[in-house]
Structure 1
Amino acid sequence: MKLLGISGSLIGEKTAIAVNEVIKKAQELEPKLEIELLDMKHYEVEFVVGKPLHDYNEDTQVVIKKITDADLFVIGTPIYQASITGALKNLFDHLPTNVFESKVVGTVTTAGSEKHFLVADHQLKPILSFFKAITPTNVFVHSSCFDQSNVIVDKEVRDRIDTLAKELVHLHTKLKL
C-alpha cells in the first residue's frame, strides 16, 4: 500500500513540509504503509500540449507513473492569487481521468493570508471530484503556523494533520475490505 504525497509548489518549502508531516503521521498509524513525497520543484514536468505521454520528457513520465502506481494521496499546494498553482493544474492535465477513482486523496493548502482557507473546497476538491476521488478533511496552514525553521508549531494545525492522517488510513482500509 503506497501513500504518495505531492507538493504542487515550484518554490519554497512550507507546502512540502506540511504534506510530509501528514504522510509521516499516516505511516506511524499504519507502519506497513510505504510513503513517498513527490516535490514538484525537483521535476521538470512539461506543459500539456496534447501529445501522448511517451512523447513528453522523462521527468513528466516518471511523475505520472508515480501517481498512477500509488494507492492513496495527500496533495498540497500553496495558494497564489486565490488559486492553486499552475504547476499543480498542469500536472492534473497530464493525468488519466480515472487515476484517483475510488482512491482517498487528502489535501493540504498553505497561504500567507487567512482569506485563502476555502480555496481547497472551491477549487481543489472540485478537480478531485472530477477524477472521482474520495476527499476527506483539508488542512489549511497559514504562514504564521511555522516557526523560523519552518517547523509547524501551531497546535490546532498539528491536530488537523493528525486527523487527516487518521482519515486517510481509515478510509483507505475500509475501501479495501
Structure 2
Amino acid sequence: MKLVGISGSLVGYKTLTTVFKVLQAAKAIDSKLETELIDLKDFEVEFVNGAPLSFYNADTVKVVDTILSADCVIIGTPIYQASISGVLKNLLDHLPVDGLMGKAVGMVANGGTDKHYLVMEYHLKSILTFLKATVPNNNVFVHNDYFDEENDLHDRNLHLRFEKLAKEILSIQKYIQQKN
C-alpha cells in the first residue's frame, strides 16, 4: 500500500512538517507501507486552463499521476483568509471528478486562529468528497503557536492526534481494498 502526502504550501515549513509527521506515524504503524511526500514548493504545477492533463508540463503530470496512483493520501494546507491555499486548490482542480474514488484522504491544516479548523470540515472536505474521497474523522488542525522557532512540534497531544489520523487512514484504506 502507498500513502502519498501533499504539502499544499509554497512558503515556510509548517504544512510540510505536519504532513511529514502523519507519514512518519503511518510508517511506524505499518513498516511495509510505502510513503511519498510531495512538497508543492518543489514543483511547477501549472494553472488549470481546461486542457487535458497531457498538455501540461512534466511537473504537473507527475504530481497528478502520483496522487492518482496512490492508495491513500494525506493533504496538508495552511489556512489563508479562511480558505485552503491557492496552490492546493489549483492542484485539486487538475484531478478528474472521480480521481480520489477508492482512496482514504486525510487532512491536516495549520493556521493562525483556532476558528480556522472549520476550513477543513466545510471547505476542503467538500472538495475531497466531490472527488469521491473517503475522508476520515480524525483530521488534525495545528495552531501556528504550536510550532517552535525551528518549525518543529513538541506537543505530545499533537503526535497522538497524528498517529490517530494515520491509523484511521490505513484502516479505512484496508477496508476499501477488502471490499473491492
Whether TM exceeds 0.5 here: the answer is yes
Structure 2 residue 171 is matched with structure 1 residue 149: no
Which residue of structure 2 lines up, in the alignment, with residue 135 of structure 1?
Answer: 135
Aligned-residue CA RMSD (Å) = 0.9
Which residue of structure 2 lines up, in the alignment, with residue 69 of structure 1?
Answer: 69
Which residue of structure 2 lines up, in the alignment, with residue 8 of structure 1?
Answer: 8
In the TM superposition, residue 80 of structure 1 has moved relative to its aligned partner by 0.2
AA aligned opposite 1:63: V
Do the aligned residues in 2 keep the contact of 1:77 with 1:85 (CA within 8 Å)? yes
AA aligned opposite 1:46: E
Structure 2 residue 110 is matched with structure 1 residue 87: no
| SS of structure 2 residue aligned to 1:117 | helix
| SS of structure 2 residue aligned to 1:110 | strand
Q: TM-score normalised to the size of structure 1?
A: 0.97
In the TM superposition, residue 112 of structure 1 has moved relative to its aligned partner by 1.5
AA aligned opposite 1:150: N
Which residue of structure 2 lines up, in the alignment, with residue 116 of structure 1?
Answer: 116
In the TM superposition, residue 98 of structure 1 has moved relative to its aligned partner by 1.3
| SS of structure 2 residue aligned to 1:118 | helix
Distance 1:91 1:43 in 2: 11
Unpaired stretches in structure 2, ≥5 consecutive residues: none
Distance 1:44 1:119 in 2: 25
In the TM superposition, residue 21 of structure 1 has moved relative to its aligned partner by 0.5
Tell me which stretches of 4 or more aligned residues in structure 1 moved more than 3 Å.
Answer: none
CA-to-aligned-CA distance 1:92-121 (integer Å, 9 cap, x gap): 111111111121000000011112111100
Unpaired stretches in structure 1, ≥5 consecutive residues: none
Do the aligned residues in 2 keep the contact of 1:29 with 1:166 (CA within 8 Å)? yes
CA-to-aligned-CA distance 1:19-55 (integer Å, 9 cap, x gap): 0100111011011110010011110111011111111
Distance 1:155 1:84 in 2: 26
Distance 1:107 1:46 in 2: 23
Do the aligned residues in 2 keep the contact of 1:98 with 1:132 (CA within 8 Å)? yes
Further displaced range: 146-155 or 92-101: 146-155
Do the aligned residues in 2 keep the contact of 1:140 with 1:157 (CA within 8 Å)? no
Distance 2:3 2:162 in 1: 15
Identical-residue share of aligned pairs (%): 50
Alignment of 1:24-103 (within 5 A): 24-103=24-103
Which residue of structure 2 lines up, in the alignment, with residue 21 of structure 1?
Answer: 21
